[in-house]
A and B are shown apart, each in its own frame.
Chain A
Amino acid sequence: MKNGWYILNYHDISWEENEFIRGIGGSFSPNDFREHIALLQQNFRIMGVQDAYELFKTNTINEPIVSFWFDDGFRGNRKYALPLLENIGVSAAISVNSRFLLREELFWRFKLSYIHFNGGDRFLRSRFRKRNILINEPLKELTFTHFSSELLADIDTVYQNMTTKEIRSDAFRIFDDVDGINELKNKGWLISNHSAAHYPISENSYIHEFENQFLECDKVLETHFGIKNQFWVLPFDRNISPKVKDSQKSREQNFVHVGNKINKNNFNDNTLSRIEVSNLFGEELIHYLANIELIK
């Protein structure tokens, strides 16, 4: 393994993958996560994000170090990942979306997944057709390409029509709440900002909301957890707009994305790269990490 800081990116660690998540993916079962930990222990030094970050800042990483970073604030991280990591004496980082945390708004991709698995694609397509959106693409891709507040409203309208108040309330069960995140914070986890509602704000289609979304979430982190947040964790990390770099120059926060690269010393552009691994099982993980490149 190359020396450097490998930040492994996960989403939900849970036995459950219901209709909200199934179409989007990102769930990883606790027994698979346990196996990951066992394999990583044989090949890396495992450290908490905060501790590894201190080494990274001072250019003193001279061995392969692994940390865990969980996105979207899922409850499963506290239920299942926390005890497994506590067993090996390590904390992790979790990036939360404030509107999911406060039950103000459900993740729009989860609404899309629910709509799809309940036969509601046709309702979305007919609304998109009226907006002259070409509907030949798969829905998941199409909603990225044409993302807008009108498209969001369409998805929400269909979702509201297809669900009851109880289903919508129950849907938030997969996200952790303020008490849960406080518990993680008290156990040494780093709590960070994944924007207010996980829109594709680093893409050109919605870049105008970039700072607003992160600032909204920063305010919630300060109010509920007393945190002066250091990390802005980019949602989606697909086609990053050049304007993100511009924003980065004027901000003191570190920008965290999924670059699938190893972080080396040379801390000079306040960017951290993470490695997506929840699609890798068993020894695949180690082979993949052995071939990852260093960030340049």
Chain B
Amino acid sequence: MIPNTLNASILNLSKTTNHTIVIITGCEDRHKRFALRLQQEFKSLVIAWYEVDSSCSKKEDLNNRIERNSGKIKEQNQFEKLKKSIHKKGVRRTVKLVWLNLKNKVLKGDIKSDDSFFKEELLELEAYKQLEPIKINPSDAISLDFISEIKELNPYFLLTLGGVLHKKELLNSIRGIAINQHAGFSPDFKGSETHLWALYHRDILKVSSTVHITKSGADDGPIIRRSTPCFSPNDTVENMFNKVVVLGTELIVEIVQKIIKSKELQVFNQPKYIGKTCLSKEITKKIKGSIQRDFDNNWLNMELKRLRNF
């Protein structure tokens, strides 16, 4: 669906017959599905797939390890960091910061998407894999070296799900268009865990997927498509999130197919000062608890019925 409350404009993309695609994703199953689904649909047009993975060593660390052995770089461990903080900010402030950091980690709990949701489909999609993903550390994904690497590939499309916020220099270098899918209802809910904010506010219509032009800000580029998934009464919070992600991927597939046929694209500009950029740390255990209580009380089933009852 196209958003009906935002101002539209027409974007004319550069004409070409060379529609190569570079994919950048995170490394969870939903990201793999995104990449494999694009490869299923666009086959050899996909020329590279980068998986941003924080467990992957930084290129700098790899280099440091070499230099450390020759005694050139002094390794900064946690104790060194603490000493530096006390020196800069004082004992009291450092203790407070350490305590807040610890408290957030305890309150935050752990929400992971239900990756078993994708297992069966991922097995089927493996048959369409064109490339193995190139693992890359988040720091490296925003480095000048990476930008040069992408420039050398010279893709028409840069398609992203998860990963990092990309630099302007990278985005401006894309021949055609950089598109991102966001598991949330932009502009109202941008950033992280936006489906949880929508559920916390019991606004199921904002448990939504937005596909937009990628900008250096979080999820704030002009919107191309925005729509809501098909929910079932027995969906869990995790299922709802997964459906949002899957929908976004399908919308991206449609958009890329459309752009390949016609270079004129209608986009919907997001108002600059409207909406919230959500941070993961704001989703506390209490908020998650409220959402879970709603689900335990059959809220989703009642809400889906209510929406149809007019």
Contacts and interface: CB of A to CB of B under 8 A. Distances in A.
A182 B139 CA distance: 49
Contacts of A160: none
A27 B307 CA distance: 14
Report the 5 A-B pairs with minimum CB-CB distance, sorted nearest first: A17-B230, A27-B230, A18-B1, A15-B247, A29-B230
Interface in B1-41: 1-2, 4, 8
A15 B310 contact: no
Contact of A23 (B2, B121, B243, B307): B307
A43 interface: no
Contacts of B232: 29, 32, 281
Contacts of A17: 228-231
Contact of B228 (A16, A87, A138, A140): A16
12 contacts: A14-B230, A16-B228, A17-B228, A18-B1, A18-B228, A24-B308, A29-B229, A29-B231, A164-B4, A167-B4, A170-B2, A282-B234
A32 B251 CA distance: 20
Nearest to B3: A167
A121 interface: yes
Given A15-B250, A24-B308, 15 more contacts: A15-B230, A15-B243, A15-B246, A16-B229, A16-B247, A16-B250, A17-B230, A18-B227, A31-B121, A34-B120, A117-B205, A164-B8, A170-B1, A281-B233, A281-B234
Contacts of B124: 87
A157 interface: no
Nearest to A83: B124
Task: Select the residue from B1, B120, B243 with max chain A CB neighbours within 10 A.
Answer: B1
Contacts of B250: 15-16, 79
Interface residues on A, range: 35 or more
Interface in B68-117: 117
Contacts of A242: none
Interface of A: 12, 14-20, 22-25, 27-29, 31-32, 34, 79, 87, 116-118, 121, 138-140, 163-164, 166-167, 170, 173, 281-282
Contacts of B292: none
A23 to B, nearest CB: 6
B55 interface: no
B297 interface: no
Task: Select the residue from A16, A24, A25, A140 with max chain B CB neighbours within 10 A.
Answer: A16
B173 interface: no
A34 B246 CA distance: 15
A282 B235 CA distance: 12
